[in-house]
């Protein structure tokens, strides 16, 4: 909950200015093209955002899927990722109860992308002129904006609205002006993206200069991809991201990620924040090494899709 409160402050308050009462207490319509609940941190977004952004008012929370994310599918996704790290996914035993739900899960997985787009498009019209916090992927926002602008729709949301994309381009080739098209359609001032992970309490969004700044209490390390040793905290350094978050009390607060990041340790960010500025070009080490990286995550749409692909390979 502390993380989500800090997240709201980062989104709504301009750095260097005193927060207003509205920054903390105004209810904001929150649009999340995900599940209403679940047992992973990402599927719990709606649960926490309802309290922090909507102040408990269900009329301000808008989710694409008004049910829990399947724990069965997430379990299979985790098992497959663990097996892949060991080099063999053929030995994953699938319980009969999960095989029995194959058709249901396959239908849900196939229809989800189109349902998300239809959901955002519908809610954008319903909330026209109102302040909205919209969370989604960049390709999804672009597809909605492209169709909407072609129909003469623009400036859908009211002043102070927040548009947060990200998630990569999912193999889509977007035009150079895709972000501006999204801003024109939704009516937000700028497109933000977030960076964080389930193993940390600290999550950050891009500053006015498109850098990521971790919270002051988080220690950042850049590790050499080959040796795993920390690189110097000077000059421009690129390598595997590692963090230590002392506020994470569920487990040890140190984490080595599967992300490659770049930091210029010697050049302060023009935004005024004094914490290290992580440059926006964050890449997966696995993509750079041809899929060989052993650090991955099961709580992602791609992992869920892989789980469904594995499940549908069985002959019933």
Mean pLDDT of 52-58: 93
Determine the straight-line distance between the first and last CA of the chain, rounded to whole angstroms: 44
Grade residue 284 by pLDDT with cuts at 50, 70 and 90: confident
Q: What is the C-alpha to C-alpha distance for residues 193 and 165, in angstroms, rounded to an integer?
A: 5
Can you tell me the mean pLDDT for 295-315?
Answer: 51
Q: Which residues pair with 256 in a beta bridge?
A: 242
pLDDT given at position 42 = 64
pLDDT tens across 36-47, in order?
A: 877 666 667 788
Q: How confident is the model at residue 171 (pLDDT cuts 50, 70, 90)?
A: low
At residue 298 the predicted structure's pLDDT band, cuts being 50, 70 and 90, is very low
Digit-coded pLDDT (tens) for 219-253: 999 999 999 999 999 999 999 999 998 887 777 88
C-beta separation of 177 from 138 below 8 A: no
- What confidence category does residue 194 fall into, taking pLDDT thresholds of 50, 70 and 90? confident
Given a cut of 50, is residue 313 above it in pLDDT?
yes
* pLDDT recorded at residue 212: 93
pTM across the whole model: 0.72
Does 316 score more than 50 pLDDT? no
Element (H, E) at 254: strand 254-264
Check if the beta carbon of residue 76 is closer than 8 Å to that of residue 310.
yes
Q: Which residues pair with 314 in a beta bridge?
A: none
Length of the chain: 316
Beta strands in 265-304 (DSSP E): 283-284
Which of 83-87, 164-168, 290-294: highest mean pLDDT? 164-168
Phi, psi of 239 (to 5 degrees): 175, -165
Domain boundaries, the chain: 1-198, 207-296
Mean of per-residue pLDDT scores for the chain: 80
Q: Please say if the pLDDT value at position 178 is more than 50.
A: yes
Percent of the chain past pLDDT 70, that is, above it, reads: 75
Maximum separation of any 2 CA atoms in the chain, in Å: 62
The strand pair at 204-205 and 191-195 is best described as antiparallel
Cβ-count burial 40-67 (b if 16+ within 10 Å, e if not): bbebbbbeebbebbbeeeeebbbbbbee
Return the number of other C-beta atoms located less than 10 Å from residue 30's C-beta. 23
Burial of 146 (0-12, 13-18, 19+ CB in 10 A): middle
Which residue has better confidence, 97 or 163?
163
Top-confidence residue, 280 or 92: 280
Angle ∠(165,107,127) on CA atoms, nearest 5: 40
Scanning 87-159, the segments in alpha helix (DSSP H) are 96-100, 102-126, 138-150
For 230-236, the CB contacts below 8 A with 24+ separation are 232/265, 233/265, 234/265, 234/266, 235/264, 235/265, 235/266, 236/262, 236/263, 236/264, 236/265
CA distance 133 to 229: 40
If you compute the radius of gyration of the chain from its CA atoms, what whole number of angstroms results? Answer: 20
Fold of 207-296: Luciferase; domain 3 (2.30.38)
List residues bridging with 63 in a β-sheet.
Answer: 32
pLDDT in tens, 109-146: 778 778 888 888 899 889 999 999 998 888 888 888 89
Q: In this predicted structure, what is the pLDDT of residue 232?
A: 96
Q: How far apart are CA 251 and CA 231, in angstroms?
A: 25
Structure tokens at 278: 């992580």
């Amino acid at each position: 909950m502390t993380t989500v409160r800090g997240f709201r402050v980062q989104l709504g308050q301009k750095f260097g200015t005193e927060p207003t009462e509205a920054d903390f207490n105004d209810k904001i319509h929150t649009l999340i093209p995900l599940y209403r609940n679940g047992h992973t941190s990402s599927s719990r977004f709606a649960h926490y955002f309802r309290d922090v952004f909507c102040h408990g008012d269900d009329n301000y929370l808008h989710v694409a899927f008004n049910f829990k994310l399947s724990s069965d599918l997430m379990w299979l996704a985790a098992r497959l990722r663990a097996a892949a790290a060991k080099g063999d996914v053929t030995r994953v035993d699938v319980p009969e109860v999960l095989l029995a739900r194959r058709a249901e899960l396959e239908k849900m997985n196939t229809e989800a992308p189109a349902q998300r787009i239809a959901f955002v498009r519908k809610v954008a019209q319903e909330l026209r002129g109102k302040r909205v916090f919209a969370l989604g992927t960049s390709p999804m926002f672009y597809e909605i904006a492209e169709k909407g602008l072609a129909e003469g729709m623009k400036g859908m949301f009211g002043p102070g609205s927040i548009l947060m994309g990200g998630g990569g381009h999912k193999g889509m080739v977007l035009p150079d002006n895709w972000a501006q098209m999204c801003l024109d359609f939704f009516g937000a001032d700028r497109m933000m993206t977030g960076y964080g992970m389930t193993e940390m309490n600290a999550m950050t969004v891009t500053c006015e200069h498109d850098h990521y700044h971790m919270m002051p209490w988080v220690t950042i390390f850049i590790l050499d991809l080959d040796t795993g040793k920390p690189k110097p905290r000077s000059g421009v350094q690129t390598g595997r991201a590692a963090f230590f978050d002392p506020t994470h009390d569920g487990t040890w607060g140190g984490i080595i990620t599967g992300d490659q990041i770049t930091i210029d340790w010697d050049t302060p960010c023009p935004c005024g924040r004094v914490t290290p500025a992580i440059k926006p070009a964050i890449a997966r080490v696995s993509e750079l090494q041809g899929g060989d990286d052993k650090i991955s995550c099961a709580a992602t749409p791609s992992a869920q899709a892989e789980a469904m692909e594995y499940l549908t390979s069985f002959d019933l």
